[in-house]
Structure 1
Amino acid sequence: MTTITKAAAIGGGVIGAGWVARLALNGIDVAIFDPDPQAARKVGEVMEGARRAYRRMAPDGLPKEGRITYAATIAEAVAGADLIQESVPERLEVKHKVLAEIDAHAPAEAVVGSSTSGIKASDMQSAMQRPERLVVAHPFNPVYLLPLVEIVGGEQTSGQAVERARALYASIGMKPVVIRKEIEAFVGDRLLEAVWREALWLIKDDVTTVEELDDIMRYSFGLRWAQMGLFQTYRIAGGEAGMRHFMAQFGPCLSWPWTKLMDVPELTDELVDKIADQSDEQAKGLSIHELERIRDDNLVAMMEALSKENDGKGWGAGALYKDFVERLGETKAKSGEE
């Protein structure tokens, strides 16, 4: 399997720090560049949470942790790196500036992955002399636990870079999915945006509250999606006749005027205050860090449970989790870490 000997993280915010945690806890050295004077503190807090989650995943011990260093420049950070993960703010002019500098100093064989949530690789490649090695590598938060990474090539991305990226991300326990067509926001965020848009209308129109809406999701279809996704869930809903019957039975309702999906509610101060106030009430005094710990514990527990299903082979994310934990153990044995 293709392995990463050194990685660089350009940007140490929530997503960048999540990448650092996943890489370092896989035993990979990571150099970080982030001009934020609070970067070390922020990354350190994410590392603390990630270590806690990984110790629960692998109670027999983890590999020797990769060394985390803070570089003074992008050039220093990317020197000798196999994988460079760019996680800077979602502004094209910022991406262009950072990617141009990465491109000027990175080793020729390095893969450059952008964590962008919606910008196309083709729109970022114009800043690079070696655009063929840039891929979108879009993860989901928390990066150190959620395994999916959407890989999207641009017009100038080489097939070799896409395949190498797929192998590199798989080597750190991720589930790379190569998106077949380059579109803004890719696939995951397109689906999330549709649900988010409808949810905003339901809150704005006082149909439900923030807490009630979250309960509706987590006590019903959220559980189904977590282990079987959308289409396989609906295949079962079609009974013995499967998906064709489901489509015939429920397809016509798609033309009914149920949804406001094509409209966007204005994010007025009133709506923002309503959502924020309801969210504060829902949290019941729990801090963000406390909620992150609860989230991580729940994610580990769900993946652990799924890892034991399917006659012990694991199911869905649980199968990948099972393989990943075994790989962590093998890496630990090779590193001699106690």
Structure 2
Amino acid sequence: MTGPVRTVTVVGAGTIGLAWTTLFLAHGLDVRLSTGRADAERAAREAVELFAPSLPVPPAHPDRLLDRLLDRLTIEPDVAKAVAGTDLVQENVREQLSLKQELFAEVERAAPDHVLLLSSSSSLSADALGATMDDPSGLLVGHPFNPAHLMPLVELVPGTRTRPDAVERAAAFYRSLGKVPVALRRPMAGTPANRLQSALFREAVHLVAEGYLTAEEADAVVTGSIGLRWAAVGPFQAFHLGGGPGGLRRMLGAVGDRMAAEWEHLGTPGLTDDIVRTLAEQTERAYGQGADAYRRLAAARDVRQGAVLAALRAGEDTGRADP
């Protein structure tokens, strides 16, 4: 990638791929969407209609973005044609290693030498993804947090053969979209956000499976307490503030032993058929299911999430450390 990114190829038209497509179009990029979906054009239009109203970039009105979609979006099922002459590839096909390896090997043969290759994978390493490539130095994981069009975080996970400048260029690209890229120091199993989310979800599953709470009540506990707290400050800063002027050192000195002892009582539930059935039935009863419910819930989520992000942006200068 020797100059500014103007053309992006999105491979895969699931929820993540369509969210990326909408965001890229909103930022004036030419987007080639490579997918085997027969309904790709309709799916892209519906995604823009659903996701555009919550985008923080102008023009956010879906009608105007639909016009831009028609002007800037190309549907190209042939991967080789879709990546020829492109500046950047964002891959979003299903989490199957052999499929992704075959895809990146094909992309390497057809794409320009300078292209930056980014995978939205949440569980596969860049080394594994590029194992069949001759030169995977431009490949790394660029994992968004769902919903990808709205949430700021993108986790960058390089492989052992990824060039440092590829990570820097990926970070610069995502920043140009208003994202907050965070690069790992070295590869790991999974990604930080998903590991943290999984730890909380595991305990939520335990509480519901053991009958302490319903799924809806567990959601209310999170959104009414730590969810609000963590929207403003992360766990370390929260406990740093909890220690008053003495900070985290004082906080852990006072309650650290008790906190560590409580870790012994955290649950380790399995996702058995019975537990999955219980979780699914309670969640469906609380929120509904099917395409109509998804669109309604996703739209409401994005409105609320967008309002939180707007409030955080409005207050972003407050509380910054003095130079």
Is 1:303 aligned with 2:309? yes
Give aligned-pair identity as a percent: 34
In the aligned structure 2, how far is the partner of 1:24 from the partner of 1:175? 19
Deviation digits for residues 67-101 of structure 1 (CA, Å, limit 9, x no counterpart): 11111310111112111001111111111111111
> Would you say 1:89 and 2:94 are equivalent positions?
yes
Q: In the alignment, what sits opposite 2:281?
A: 277
Amino acid at match of 1:185: G
Deviations 1:201-239 (A, max 9, x none): 111111111111000000011001011111111111111
Cα drift, residue 3 of structure 1: 3.2
SS at match of 2:205: helix
Could you tell me which residue of structure 1 aligns to residue 54 of structure 2?
53
Specify the SS of the correspondent of 1:143. coil
- Separation of aligned partners in 2, 1:100 and 1:271: 40
Q: Does 1:292 align with 2:298?
A: yes
Is the Cα–Cα contact under 8 Å of residues 117 and 138 in structure 1 kept in the other structure?
yes
Aligned partners of 2:245, 2:318: CA distance in 1, in Å? 25
CA distance in 2, matches of 1:128, 1:260: 46
Partner of 2:271: 267
- What residue identity is the alignment partner of 2:273? D
Matches within 5 A, 1:1-338: 3-54=4-55, 58=58, 65=68, 67-256=72-261, 258-259=263-264, 263=268, 265-283=269-287, 287-310=293-316, 313=317
Q: Do the aligned partners of 2:91 and 2:118 also contact (CA within 8 Å) in 1?
A: yes
Alignment gaps of 5+ in structure 1: 317-338
TM superposition shift of 1:57: 5.9
Once the 2 structures are TM-superposed, how far is the Cα of residue 268 of structure 1 from its aligned partner? 2.4
1:250/1:84 Cα in 2 relative to 1: closer, same or farther (>3 Å)?
same
Unaligned runs of 5+ in 2: none
Tell me how many residue pairs correspond in the alignment.
Answer: 312
1:309-336 CA-to-partner distances (Å, cap 9, x unmatched) read: 25xx4789xxxxxxxxxxxxxxxxxxxx
Measured in 2, the distance between the counterparts of 1:288 and 1:250 equals 42
State the distance in 1 between where 2:299 and 2:313 align: 21
SS of residue paired to 1:36: coil
How many Å separate the matches in 1 of 2:318 and 2:88? 29
Does the CA contact (< 8 Å) of 1:227 and 1:315 recur in 2? no
Q: Which has the higher contact order (CA 8 A, sep 6+)?
A: 1
Please report how far the alpha carbon of residue 15 of structure 1 lies from its aligned counterpart in structure 2 after TM superposition: 0.7
* Segment drifting more, 4-13 vs 251-260: 251-260
TM-score by length of 1: 0.86
1:36 Cα deviation after fit? 2.5
